[in-house]
Chain A
Amino acid sequence: MHSLYQRANGLTGLLSSCLIGLLALVALTSFLFPAHPKGDVNIKTLKVRWGQIDRHPAQEWAFVQFDLQTDLESLFHWNTKQLFVYLVAEYTGSKGVANEVVLWDRIAKIKYVFRDFNKTFRNASAVELSVRYNVMPYVGVLTSGEVGRTSKERFPALQTQG
Chain B
Amino acid sequence: MSSQIRSLLEGKIDFEGQKLAEKIVQIGLISSTIVSFIVGFVVQDLKVAFAILSVATIFIALITLPPWPVYNKHPLPWLKSQNSKKEQ
Residues of A participating in the B interface, judged by any CB pair closer than 8 Å:
1-5, 7-8, 10-11, 14-15, 18-19, 21-22, 25-26, 29, 77-79, 138
Query: When the two chains form the complex, which single residue of B18, B26, B30, B41 contacts A29, counting CB atoms closer than 8 Å?
Result: B41
Residues of B participating in the A interface, judged by any CB pair closer than 8 Å:
9-13, 18, 21-22, 25-26, 29-30, 33, 36-37, 40-41, 44-46, 49, 53, 57, 60-61, 64-67
CB distance from A22 to the nearest CB of B (A): 5
Does more than half of chain A's interface fall in helix, strand or loop, or is it mixed? helix
By a CB distance below 8 angstroms, the chain B residues around A25 are 37
Once the chains bind, are B10 and A15 in contact (CB under 8 Å)?
A: no
A2 with B21, Cβ < 8 A, contacts A29-B41, A77-B44 known: no
By a CB distance below 8 angstroms, the chain B residues around A19 are 33, 53
In the complex the two chains form, what is the Cα distance from A39 to B57 in whole Å?
A: 45
By a CB distance below 8 angstroms, the chain A residues around B53 are 18-19, 22
